Amino acid sequence: MTLAQDIELGGLSTLRLPGRAASFLRLTHPQQFATLAEHPRRFFLGGGSNLVVCGNVDALVVQVALSGKRLINEDDQAWYVEAAAGENWHDFVLWTLAQGWPGLENLALIPGQVGAAPIQNIGAYGLEAGEMIAAVDAYDCERKEMLRFSATDCRFAYRDSLFKQQGWHRSGRILIVSVSFRLPKRWQPRLGYADLARELAARQIKSPSAQQLAEVVIAVRRAKLPDPDILPNAGSFFENPVVSAAEAQALLVQHPQLPHYPQPDGRIKLAAGWLIEHAGWKGRRLGPVGMYEKQALVLVNHGGATGQDVQALVGAVQGDVERQFGVRLRPEPVFVG
């Protein structure tokens, strides 16, 4: 199979950073899987919304464009829905709601593709994708065989999974092919975030439907996050740090307004955006990059930035937050090149 050579990657990621791929394959059909094994170095590219290109990539860059979505089963308890890895995540969420299958509405408007959802265990407004994932089907490029991972196998945790822990998203060994979701029929809205409560109150909605909740999530996200087609960005750039209860209590004594969320294991999740803003980085630039003026958690490219510019800003933000609050922030995106 003929591969494209020396392809510019800037237009394939939402941060629009320059870099070239030594070779490139748009993956649309399982028949192409055999080609992957012929290349020892691979990098799987989805929607490019969680990616920092730091230069040229001396590997086969595979743009995952597998498509298709369907109801695969239904019982008294739930609907079971499968989507191919190349499906747009937001479009998939809207499609499930249009079919009358609620459950993913809090994750509306998250950029990227379905195949990336298990790797990062994407989450927003009190819901993580891993809570709804039933299984992940994948292709092992080294063993040349299909694999199935149950939800337990995936080891989902906050912004984490087996795929991330093993580094398969970096090594290019395991290609996620499709993801199956279990959407319970006994639906309950998740309304635990203040932003959602404020928007619902403004709309005078006390008991939202799943569709109404999705509309509220979309409105809140659009008000806070820039359109990458207008202002290149990678969405929320840093993970919300999770600290011990003792560490959180010490911080709250000094900073009682710091948003914090108790976790099932007793630890406390802190709002990275608040930490970044109060470290003085909201709306502040470092060369051609900066933290967004409306949401300090979002790193934006004001034009002409490189991966090195992003790395410099990341280090500066991490350093100031750690000096002021004693908390080390971790970037969410994958760095390549």
**Alpha helices, H only, the chain:** 33-37, 89-98, 117-120, 162-165, 168-171, 194-202, 210-224, 245-254, 272-278, 307-325
Whether 249 and 284 share a structural domain: yes
Count of domains observed in the chain: 4
Q: Which residue has the tokens 């299958």?
A: 101
Beta bridge partners of 248: none
Task: Mark whether 332 is an active-site residue.
Answer: yes
pLDDT digits (tens, 9 = 90+) for 40-71: 899 999 989 889 999 999 999 999 999 999 99
Report yes or no on 166 lying in a domain.
Answer: yes
Q: pLDDT tens for residues 133-147? A: 999 999 999 999 999
Tell me if 228 is assigned to some domain. no
My answer on whether 176 and 199 are in the same domain is no
Is residue 290 predicted with pLDDT exceeding 80? yes
Q: Is the whole model's pTM more than 0.85, yes or no?
A: yes
Which one from 13, 161, 180, 236 is the annotated catalytic residue? Answer: 236
Ranges 1-15, 150-164, 232-246, 295-309: which has the least confidence: 1-15
Q: What is the CATH number of the domain that holds 47?
A: 3.30.43.10
Q: How far apart are alpha carbons 108 and 213 in whole angstroms?
A: 9
Is 129:121 a contact under the CB 8 Å cutoff? yes
Catalytic hit among 16, 20, 159, 173 = 159
pLDDT band for position 86 (cuts 50, 70, 90): very high
Alpha carbon distance 40, 126 (integer Å): 39
* Confidence bin at 1 (pLDDT 50/70/90): low
Residue 159 designated active-site = yes
User: Catalytic residue among 87, 105, 128, 332, which?
Assistant: 332
Are 58 and 77 found together in one domain? no
Is 59 part of a structural domain of the chain? Answer: yes
Please tell me whether residues 58 and 34 are part of one structural domain. Answer: yes
Give catalytic status of residue 236 as yes or no: yes
Examine the domain organization and report whether 308 and 332 are in the same domain: yes
Q: Which domain holds residue 215?
A: 194-223
